[in-house]
Structure 1
């Protein structure tokens, strides 16, 4: 069983991986999460900044917080918003270009 909630989104911010721990942490089953954008868990007040940073990271292949323990505001299925510490890893093609992102939450 996965201990830490984890998700992977493609370069468009569409969720392509959602583990069982993410189901428990966020209240969305994998079937409901897969194919949705990260708006599923990014609270509305944070979306503009999130997408600006996400697009910049996908274009540049760089994210300032990559690999660092970072608090991410996240919204659960029941509407509760909480800061969840996690680590962002950009996923890269062999040429170094970003093709997605993974976050593993503590």
Structure 2
């Protein structure tokens, strides 16, 4: 079955953020869910580096991993779901879960990454509260 899907419409109707960055960490694609989750408009995000959403304390580790992925053309995460802190425009910390995939140019060189991101902040807080409640009940 062949479908005629408008890619822009698809990216804007899904609930998860789709963020694409080039080999220099510059954001080149930012959908409406990314705006909803992180607070930055598409215009504010495009052309900025991923530091826009990476908390200060995670930046060095993130940059080292990103650089290594660009050199090797691989990511050690594959299709694993990553759970990390992120930063909202207003400065608050978010808990996000995402998958990341490598992008390649016509010569097979790594040219960037694509991430599909979900905001897990509320679920993570609920889970933490339930764990605390359980611990309190087990050890009064």
TM-score, normalised to structure 2, is 0.72
Residues 67-76 or 46-55, more deviating: 67-76
- Specify which structure has the higher proportion of strand: 1
Distance 1:66 1:11 in 2: 17
- Aligned-residue CA RMSD in angstroms? 1.0
Residues 71-80 or 48-57, more deviating: 71-80
- Specify which structure has the higher proportion of helix: 2
Q: Which has the larger radius of gyration?
A: 2
After TM superposition, the runs of 4+ consecutive aligned structure 1 residues lying more than 4 A away are none
Alignment of 1:51-62 (within 5 A): 51-62=63-74
Which stretches in structure 1 are left out of the alignment for 5+ residues? none
1:2–1:19 contact (8 Å) kept in structure 2? no
Aligned length: 106
Instruction: Determine whether 1:33 maps to 2:33.
Output: no
Deviation, 1:95, is: 3.6
Q: Greater relative contact order: 1 or 2 (C-alpha under 8 angstroms, separation 6 or more)?
A: 1
TM-score, normalised to structure 1, is 0.95
Alignment equivalent of 1:9, drawn from 16, 21, 31: 21
